[in-house]
């Protein structure tokens, strides 16, 4: 019986050693996997932090450029509006002067007419002249109406 016991013990020892090697291999594999996962997390964290930093720098630069551009556009718009306002003010001044001159001339006409109508004799002459001037116009209108 001792003859069969030796191979059985040898087989048992070999199986135990094989199981130990398999167990050690699984533990080693788990440790490697854990270390790789840890390394992956560290790399992802550092990459994410770097990407966030770059993104924030880009956003800051874009914001600054947009702000600078907005200020430039606002200044240009203000300059154009000021120029338009100046031109408009000059044009309004010119129109105002023209109207004042015309109004002054019309007031002069009224004053002249008032002087002409100051006495009853002058009023009669004025109305007579006015009617004489209007007669040809009235005759033309009458003849035109008769043709219709």
What is residue 11's predicted lDDT score, i.e. its pLDDT? 86
What is residue 24's predicted lDDT score, i.e. its pLDDT? 95
Structure letter (DSSP) for residue 1: -
What is residue 138's predicted lDDT score, i.e. its pLDDT? 56
- Strand ranges (DSSP E) for the chain? none
Dihedral, CA of residue 96, residue 99, residue 101 and residue 106, to nearest 10:
-150
Q: Which residues of the chain have pLDDT under 50?
A: none
What is residue 10's predicted lDDT score, i.e. its pLDDT? 85
SS3 content of the chain, % helix, strand, coil (to 5): 95, 0, 5
- Judged on CB neighbours under 10 Å (0-12, 13-18, 19+), 49 is exposed
CA distance 28 to 78: 74
What is residue 4's predicted lDDT score, i.e. its pLDDT? 75
CA distance 102 to 126: 24
**122 Cβ contact partners less than 8 Å away, ≥ 6 residues apart:** 116
What is residue 137's predicted lDDT score, i.e. its pLDDT? 54
What is residue 144's predicted lDDT score, i.e. its pLDDT? 56
CA distance 105 to 45: 88
Query: Could you tell me how many residues make up the chain?
Result: 148
What is residue 75's predicted lDDT score, i.e. its pLDDT? 92
């Amino acid at each position: 019986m001792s003859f069969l016991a030796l191979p059985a013990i040898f087989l048992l020892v070999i199986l135990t050693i094989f199981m130990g090697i398999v167990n050690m291999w699984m533990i080693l594999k788990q440790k490697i996997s854990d270390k790789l996962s840890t390394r992956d997390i560290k790399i992802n964290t550092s990459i994410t932090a770097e990407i966030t930093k770059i993104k924030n720098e880009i956003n800051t630069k874009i914001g600054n450029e947009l702000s600078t551009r907005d200020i430039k556009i606002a200044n240009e718009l203000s300059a154009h509006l000021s120029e338009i306002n100046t031109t408009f003010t000059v044009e309004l001044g010119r129109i105002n002067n023209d109207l004042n001159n015309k109004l002054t001339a019309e007031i002069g006409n009224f004053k002249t007419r008032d002087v002409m109508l100051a006495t009853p004799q002058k009023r009669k002459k004025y109305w007579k002249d006015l009617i004489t001037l209007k007669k040809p116009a009235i005759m033309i209108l009458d003849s035109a109406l008769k043709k219709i």
